[in-house]
Amino acid sequence: MTVDTNRRRFLQTLAVGSVVHPLLAGRPAAAQSHAGEGLEALWEEVRRQFAFRDERVPMNAANLCPSPRVVAEQVRELTRDIDVDCSFPNRAKFGPLLEKSRAAVAMQLGVTADEIALVRNTSEANNVVNAGIPLAADDEVVVWDQNHPTNNVAWEVRAARYGLAVKKVTTPATPSGVDELIGVFERALTPRTRVLALTHVSNVSGLRLPVRELCEVAHRRGIHVHVDGAQSWGALDVDLRELGCDSFTGSAHKWFMGPKEVGLLYVRADRVEEIWPSIVAPSWGNAVEPRTKGARKFESLGQRDDAALAAVGTTVAFHDRLGMKRIEARVVELATMLKAGLEDAGFELVTPMEPELSGGVAIAVVDSARRGAFVNALYERHGIACAATGGLRICPHVYNTAEHVARAVSGAAALREEPL
């Protein structure tokens, strides 16, 4: 695929890595001003790699993100290639491209390629674990009441079918810290608990759970820990070995900024064999001798969007050029700026201000009767696309600028005083 001169220069600039966020570099305050100016110029250049217009700014990364041009063009070019020649010989190249994508994702997340399946979205990935993990009648599954329905209601559906017990954990609206969150879940575990199903960052409150510590607590009791990472893959610097969970899921179309309808399913190597796939298609082989290796068995889904799967590797490269630590620092910086601005404008925050208890999802209290009209007005009058999930939910990402955040705050402040 041809990359124009401006984008080539941009990618080369990122590859050099000469501009480092002061918070990461640990530079003295005197040096931070100049570095900050250079870094803001870098983020302005990042913003230009996305096609959206400033009249309609996406700030709903918890739901759907735009892809950078390099990813969108890769999908478009490979789709065109298939349309020109959809023969088996021409499409043979997509097998190796899929494996390159898998290897790139695995390396970024600190695991092996055999532990990674690229499925269709987080919902499907959550349900693979839900339906496939071996459980018996009267076994207990402990879930967070802020989980997405595919990591919450789906467990209740299985419980209704097979006689399992599901226990919901409610965390404090304003937790005092990590220790309080750990204690709430630890007290919920019993000798019957077989699975602890969590969400890394809540899409309805923005609260970030201390997953690594909760995995340690659960593993001392032999409990499988499943983590929905839809709000952390692509936003936070995730190392799955360090996190310590047994399974982890995510969607490429959210914070990862990748192609649409590609999902992530990680299953730790020693757990892969015991979990059954939800779908068996021709790529599986037969019951005696599957053709798949490792977590690939969860990808037996029939015809896929080969162009999208291939472009996952392109998306990883985009992230890697920026660096996941730098991406997380920027996401936290924008979210903190946004939360502080909303608080100063008189809004009550749902999401904790502290970075260790939050991520990129930022939610402020807006009465449920006004939320829909509020979000629509913020889009129509101020050009900020957000959501009414859990309140006023605004989720900035690396393609957003400080000006976008300031506009979101000023627009919300104006609407707060208006009848809608």
What are residue 233's DSSP bridge partners?
236
Packing angle of the helix pair 5-16, 306-322 (nearest 10 deg): 50
How many other CB atoms are found less than 10 A from the CB of residue 254? Answer: 28
Residue 59: helix, strand or coil by DSSP?
coil
- Tokens 């291939």 map to which residue? 310
pLDDT, position 37: 60
The pLDDT tens digits for 6-37 are 444 434 433 333 333 332 233 333 333 344 56
Which amino acid is residue 244, in one-letter code? G
Taking the mean position of all CA atoms in its chain, how far away is CA 180? 25
pLDDT, position 11: 42
* Nearest alpha carbon to residue 392 among 355, 357, 346: 346
State in Å, rounded, how far the first CA of the chain is from the last one: 48
pLDDT, position 39: 82
The pLDDT tens digits for 226-270 are 999 999 999 999 999 999 999 999 999 999 999 999 999 999 999
Taking the mean position of all CA atoms in its chain, how far away is CA 212? 17
pLDDT, position 293: 85
Structural contact between residues 373 and 416, judged by C-beta atoms closer than 8 angstroms: no
State the DSSP H helix or E strand holding residue 263, giving kind and residue range, or none if neither.
Answer: strand 263-267
Q: What does the pLDDT profile of the chain (420 residues) look like in tens digits?
A: 343 444 444 344 333 333 333 322 333 333 333 445 678 889 999 999 999 999 999 999 999 999 999 999 999 999 999 999 999 999 999 999 999 999 999 999 999 999 999 999 999 999 999 999 999 999 999 999 999 999 999 999 999 999 999 999 999 999 999 999 999 999 999 999 999 999 999 999 999 999 999 999 999 999 999 999 999 999 999 999 999 999 999 999 999 999 999 999 999 999 999 999 998 888 777 766 666 789 999 999 999 999 999 999 999 999 999 999 999 999 999 999 999 999 999 999 999 999 999 999 999 999 999 999 999 999 999 999 999 999 999 999 999 999 999 999 999 999 998 887
Residue 288 C-beta-side C-alpha neighbours within 13 Å: 0
pLDDT, position 117: 98
- Tokens 């889009």 map to which residue? 379
**What domains are there in the chain, each with its CATH number?**
20-66+323-416 (3.90.1150.10), 74-319 (3.40.640.10)
Q: Provide the total of helices (H) and of strands (E) in the chain, helices listed first.
A: 16, 11
